[in-house]
Structure 1
Amino acid sequence: MELDWLETFLAVVDRGGFTAASEQVHRSQSRVSAHIAALERDLGVQLIDRTRRPATLTAAGEVFVRYARDLVARVGSARTAVGALRWMDAEALRVLTTPCIGSAVFPAVLGELVQRFPGVRLALTQRSGPPDENVPLPDGYVLAVLPKVDGPLPPGVHERMLWRERMRIVVRPDHELARHDGGVRAEELVRYPLVVCGAASEAVPEAVAMLAERGLAAQPRAAVDTPLTVLALVRAGAGVGMLNGVALETADTDGLVVLDTDDPGMAREVAAYWHDGVVTGGAAMELHRIVLDAEAPPGSEPLSAPEAPDPRADGAHNGRIAPPRR
């Protein structure tokens, strides 16, 4: 049984047919059919009923698809772990985060790290928007600190909740919202052109997603990559800015008015992610210790819970891990 066969099979299932699957896996339709036929021969059962449109899983296919997804996911996780170790062997630690978390948290984290490991090489990648396909830890990264990922984690990936930060509103002093008394209602926000973080080429920006959860449709005038650009556009009169609390604590808001919303649920949670077996000692272990033990940054509140397992201990549990005491 080959991995290509499994990936092709899942493409047929997810896309609903052989033609659409061929576009996803970048193979001819005849090759897609050949992969499915080879997989069925190997298993000795028919997986897909080709007499129906769209193609439908047989009873055997319904059972096998769960195992196929798990196998493909585990291979992907293995590649991630090996990729991270390859970078560690080269004495480089790759960390993934966002621009505002990067500027608020990592100067102190990395400053402390290099005191103990002066020769360590670091690569801090900062991106806006949620991770693609709910995969918080791409190949080669030893740690990610990102807004919480929805849905199940890939096999072998750990999560530790760190802090929670509310969404806040930024306007010019001459904007009518600047005279607002009390928290701004979500219904009021969608009346104005918005400027948010989250490039238009990525998934829905988190501010827009929060409004959508409340049944409100928002079409931002601008979706940009960094909080700095949001504030520059607000100063230029492009619209009403929506930023998280940590971003505003590290940004220059002189000459602007910062407001709260009236909805405490308009907030995001931030978590650390790492791969099982990657944190084995040295600089990587110290990096994780510093990040997981750090105080919640200004503009946020720590997520605390009763006793939680230590992810750095031997035999740490897979999957989501409760936050530490702070």
Structure 2
Amino acid sequence: MQFQQLAYFVAVAETRHFTRAAEQARVAQPSLSQQVRALERDVGATLFHRIRGNVTLTEAGETLLPIARRILAETETAYRAIRELDELGRGRVRLGATPSLCTGLLPAMLAAFRRAYPGIELVLHESGSRDLQTELSEGALDLAMIVDSRVHDDPRLSSTPLFVEELVVISPKAARAPVRGRLAIGDLRDRPLVMFRRGYDLREATVNACRAEGFDPVFAIEGGEMDAVLELVQAGIGLAVVPSTVVGDRFRMTQFTEPGLSRVVRLAYRRDVEQPRAVRALQDGIVRFLHGEGGAGHLPPGTRSLVGA
């Protein structure tokens, strides 16, 4: 008794017609009839009454039909389970990312991954790079997209550089530009800034750049997360230094003069554990998204891919 023979038997039983069953099974009718006869020889009983084109089940056929359906269903379930494992039809990945990445690049990236692997559950945790590294090291995350890298301080962690992200100054679109052309770091002196909370990478980058030019920045307001900072700038409270990936069409963007300000975004992971296939799939998906066709990827202006560099 073969699997294909049972499939042909069920098709004939459901259509009550050998020709229609052959069309449904996408096989030549003589071949289907031959396989059904071979099944009848195997089970030692006639399964169909064949009278002038009228096909009905015999008692043996009635007995075999529910059994055959169950075998086919269980076999298909087994095939599907194996295919799902092989094709990553299920799984769970806990991804950490900084607020600026969650606001800017990450939504399109994760949407592309979901289209490719709709069965994989994604759990996103938004926090600063330092906190994300701690959670990754403790096993609370599978992957983390962080800014720059201090992962060499933890022997359990490693990271891969993804792209260089330009930092720019934003102001309300209706307002005039802070200066004509590009902005020097020194031009931020005495200009009120909307500043992120302590522990934010962008806060450290801005303050350190200003101090390197010999002054401390003036804060119009401080303590916000990314969404709050953007809204406060939009309200006209002050300027802000943000990644170019979060600017969009809402703000006026002014670049810094060369060499400018930038930061490296990295993908951090545990080096001391074997990653599940779903986690490896997301790692590969992030790289493919950034690299894209011909290396162009999906990065917006003001960023430069380091994938494959």
Does the alignment reach a TM-score above 0.5? yes
Deviation at 1:142, TM superposition (A): 0.8
3-state DSSP of counterpart to 1:221: strand
State the partner residue of 2:286.
291
> What is the one-letter code of the residue matched to 1:159?
S
Amino acid at match of 2:189: V
Name the residue aligned to 1:244: 243
TM-superposed CA distance for 1:282, in Å, is 2.3
Give me the TM-score of the superposition, normalised by structure 2. Answer: 0.59
Give the counterpart letter for 1:99 in structure 2.
P
Cα separation, 2, equivalents of 1:293 and 1:282: 16
| Range with bigger deviation, 166-175 or 271-280 | 166-175
Which residue number corresponds to residue 180 of structure 1?
A: 179
* Structure 1 residues 138 and 281: CA distance shift in structure 2, 3 A: closer
**Deviations for 1:71-123, whole angstroms, at most 9, x for unmatched residues?**
xxxxxxxxxxxxxxxxxxx9432111022312433333333433454332221
2:162 equivalent in structure 1: 162
What's the secondary structure of 2:275's corresponding residue? coil
What residue number does 2:120 align with? 120
Preserved contact between residue 162 and residue 303 of structure 1 (Cα < 8 Å): yes
Seen in structure 2, the aligned counterparts of structure 1 residues 96 and 228 have a Cα distance that, compared at 3 Å, is same
Distance in 2 separating the partners of 1:130 and 1:282: 25
Please tell me whether the aligned partners of residues 137 and 270 of structure 2 are also in contact (alpha carbons under 8 angstroms).
no
Between Structure 1 and Structure 2, whose CA radius of gyration is higher?
Answer: 2
Name the amino acid aligned to 1:248. V
Q: What residue in structure 2 maps to residue 143 of structure 1? A: 143
Q: Give the aligned partner of residue 96 of structure 2.
A: 96
Q: Aligned-pair distance for 1:284?
A: 1.1
Counterpart AA for 1:210:
A
In the alignment, which residue of structure 1 is the partner of 2:106?
A: 106
Write the distance in 1 (CA, Å) between the matches of 2:252 and 2:115: 39
- In the alignment of these two chains, the number of paired residues is 211
Give the drift of 1:287. Answer: 0.5
Matches within 5 A, 1:30-69: none
Name the structure with the higher helix share: 2
Query: What SS class does the counterpart of residue 152 from structure 2 fall into?
Result: coil
* CA apart distance, 1:163: 0.9
Alpha-carbon deviation of 1:161?
0.7
Whole-Å Cα distance in 2 between the matches of residues 151 and 125 of structure 1? 18
- Indicate which of 242, 265, 281 corresponds to 1:270: 265
Structure 1 position 211, deviation (Å): 2.3
Change (3 A) 1:246 1:133: closer
Aligned amino acid, residue 180 of structure 1? V
Distance in 2 between the 1:114 and 1:270 partners? 22
Shift of 1:175: 5.2
Asked if the contact 1:136/1:273 (under 8 Å) is kept, the reply is no
Contact 1:248 1:299 in 2 (8 A): no
Alignment of 1:171-250 (within 5 A): 171-172=171-172, 178=177, 180-196=179-195, 198-200=196-198, 204-249=203-248
Give every structure 1 segment of 4 or more consecutive aligned residues whose post-TM-superposition deviation is greater than 4 Å: 132-136, 173-176, 201-204
Secondary structure class of the residue paired with 2:245: helix
Alignment TM-score, normalising by the size of structure 1 = 0.56
Taking every aligned residue pair, what percent have the same amino acid on both sides? 20
Change (3 A) 1:303 1:179: closer
CA gap 1:173/1:108 in 2 versus in 1, 3 angstroms: closer
Give the residue type in structure 2 aligned to 1:262.
T
Q: How far apart, in 2, do the equivalents of 1:191 and 1:263 lie?
A: 21
